[in-house]
Structure 1
């Protein structure tokens, strides 16, 4: 049996002037978090789907990378990942590209092993698999 997580969205009004709230009832970390047209396409405070996808992808990739490092006998000192999700408006809104930018400090690993493990994590983390219709690139830097 797998694990199930959930979130809820509530919306009031039309697309451009309406407002929504997101909640994550299991953890309670998102509690009435605002989102709307202007937080998605403008600079109003609040979150948006692309930001949440970026957070999920950065977290999932980083955990997958750590797991794969452990399987190969390496323990990272630190891994920092930024995910950038692009929303294109050509032909209607669509996710057009995701860039993962990761920097890690991993004692004892060589560059080729680092790259191979990072590429494997990019291909096989659950969020990457779910978003496989979107081009995903990875910039990986071995620091220290």
Structure 2
């Protein structure tokens, strides 16, 4: 499987601008620039897209890992905060902080955290990032339908 996206940039780094497109059409002429990356101008930037990719990939990896253990999540709400830092003259993505809020019926916290940590390490986007990846878990134990008393 291969997925494709493209970027077009015009001008210099500080005052130029670009657009991003994806083969699927999910991104179509999405603007990005120095100010969307380093300030808060509307538009996107590479770090925001990596954060979206990482949170989506992790959620899917966790759902798959839970299914292998016989569990189905009610909800997996994931966010990722990607940090871009300057070191000397170069910039690096230094970390991706995943934050997870989850409800999974019939699963205890200890087993859930083990499955989630494994999914964090093994999701394909985590594997491609050369950054510190952390996971903050807010897990709510819920009873499975068979555990409910009537």
TM bucket (normalised to shorter chain) is: over 0.9
Is residue 2:58 matched to residue 1:78?
Answer: no
Residue in structure 1 matched with residue 146 of structure 2 by the alignment: none
Picking from 19, 22, 29, the partner of 2:20 is 22
Larger radius of gyration: 2
Q: How many residues align?
A: 140
Whole-angstrom CA distance in 2 between matches of 1:102 and 1:5: 26
Structure 2 residues not aligned, in runs of 5+? 143-150
So what's the TM-score if we normalise by structure 2?
A: 0.91
Aligned to 1:41: 38
SS in 1 for 2:98: strand
Per the normalisation by structure 1, the TM-score is: 0.95
Q: 1:99 is matched with which residue: 88, 97, 100? A: 97
* Structure 1: segments with no counterpart, 5+ residues: none
Aligned residue for 1:106, secondary structure, equals strand
Give the Å deviation of 1:113.
Answer: 0.4
**Structure 1 runs, 4 residues or longer, greater than 4 Å off:** none
Structure 1 position 137, deviation (Å)? 0.4
Displacement of 1:89: 1.3
Residue 126, structure 1, aligned to residue 131, structure 2: no
